[in-house]
Structure 1
Amino acid sequence: MIIFFSKRPYTVLLSVVALIVLCLTSCLGMSAINDTDTNESKSGLEVHFIDVGQADAALVFCDGDTMLIDGGNSDDSRLIYTYLKKHDVTNLDYIVATHAHEDHVGGLSGALDFATAEVALCPVTEYESKAFSNFVKGLKQQGLEITIPEAGDSFTLGSAKVNVLACNAAEDPNNSSIVLKLIYGDTSFLFTADAEYESEMAMLDAGYDLSSTVLKVGHHGSYTSTSYRFLNEVDPQYAVISCGKDNDYGYPHDEVISRLENADITYYRTDLIGDIICTSDGKNVCFNVSTGNTNTEADIENPRDMVLNTGSKRYHEIGCESIPEIRESNKKDYFGTTAEIESMGYYPCGSCH
């Protein structure tokens, strides 16, 4: 079912006015020039997995439309505010609180302090916490109420289609998480929030097409998510894990890393490389990673052949004198960049680096 969630009346009015102005300027042979990097000027698809420590936040741009999926902890409100300001995001077509836990909803109040929102999605309208109350307060100040979507709903973001695959009335907020699959051309992204085994099995039983180019790994890499059967159905080329450095939970768990590596899935971790930006032209996706506000070598480095030691977690350049000493069972050929390798938990060999 395609759902067109109601947006603000003045948004429709502004769109009509903009259309009239566009027609007039076209007739007069005039063109408007805008040299600022606003969300209205962005074309194509960009997904920003924002480094919010032990939490989740993703900002999606598509053909001028924007969607914010979660906003980190309450202490991340200023970070989210600043991130939106940096990218001149003054309007959010969709703001999504995937579930009511603070590490997802906490920083959304900061987003609402900077940007107006058109539609707010969340699996619940009430939850006893200060973080959730601040989120609802921010919505009310903008005259918005929470919309609870249903599994099977879909909506558009620019030229992308977004399918709601889960929004459960579970006792555990994690398993009530809104799960979204965004489809852009031949590429797709699966945002699983903190959905665990129970929710994963429900999506499998429902028969949804889970296959995706990029998987946002569930529950920060906890072993309670990303089950073998679920991962097999998603069959991603890439995965992103949002978690905090040296967090108290031990995320990502070794079991999940093992599942990803056994499936030869390239994965990136915010705790190791900071903000992660993925772009799509509708055919292919490309990852650019950054640490803080500076670009890293991954932005300009060409991928190359390397050899991994899965036992020692070291990577070696071709021709390294240490390669013959690696056990065959631990030796793995890899083609990629050093940033990709290091995001997977590998370290450079001392002999060839």
Structure 2
Amino acid sequence: MSMPAIRKKVHSELPSGDPALLNRIAWARRWVERDSSLEYATEAQLKAKAGSGKRSRAEQGLALRTLAWHALWTGHMDTAMQHCLKAEGYLPESQHRDARAGIYALLAVVHYTRGRLDLATCAVDRGLWLLKDMTDGEAAPAQTSLLLARATVQRLGGERARAGITLSRARELAPEEHMPLVEYCTARWLLSDGDMVKAADHAARSVDLASRDGNGVMLSYAHAVQASVHTAEGHPYEARLSFAQARKLGKAAGDLFIDCIVHTGLASVARSEKNTDEAQTLLREAARIAKRENYAVLRKGIALDMAECFETAGDYKAALEQHKLAWRLQDDMRMR
């Protein structure tokens, strides 16, 4: 939709065009009305730019926070980072603790996606520090996001027991709208721990909750983790169906990260069916996306899967090169 069309639509729904109200609506709608949320945030930013003073600057920052959130949830990590850094300039920590904590949660995801677990940890720590004097009720959304980011960093860093404890704390605090994400993260954790029965339960809950709430942002990820569980359980047909749902939703949203996850997941299904050619084709595309977008968090697994494909095909030299790539990526995964 063109910018004039966006402005016309928003103005037709909200004639006053007050950036504060536009920002509140944009943030409230982010999970369930992605397009509308983006439109309102874009218009809020334009309105705030036309103003002056601290209030207008704050509204610019809040609009950028929403735009960063949407960029992150479509896999555009560079754009998300840029919006976050700009938003920080408009939102002093002393006056906007909750919003800044939410921005630190976004930055944590960007950092661990790029393989910088150290920077992700710092972002989480800073965000939680900002919320330390706020009540759980006030801080629950940002605190939940920060704790889920911490749990992911812990899981990626091999601290699975700690990740489980952190996930439990996030579950205690999570508002209803965050529950599909909590269930998704829990399913991923259990999947990495090899507990397929519990992983299947939490993946199904994520799908059910996202479907019930109309949470289109999370639904593609919920289907993807459910598909991964089906693959691990030896149910390739069901896995392909779930991955197809994830791909359809991700494509509609232009989500590059879920596209990479789906390619990698379908390659696992193909490998389980002894279809090495299909697996290699899918993994090459996944590797291309992950390298271009700097999804370091996915590249190691893709390299190891590719190595297995080459080994199965008898190309041990190529398999060794992929193992070397995986080792290098692991070394580059900086931990605190």
Instruction: Give the TM-score taking structure 1 as reference length.
Output: 0.34
- The structure whose residues are more often strand, as a share, is 1
Name the one with the larger helix percent: 2
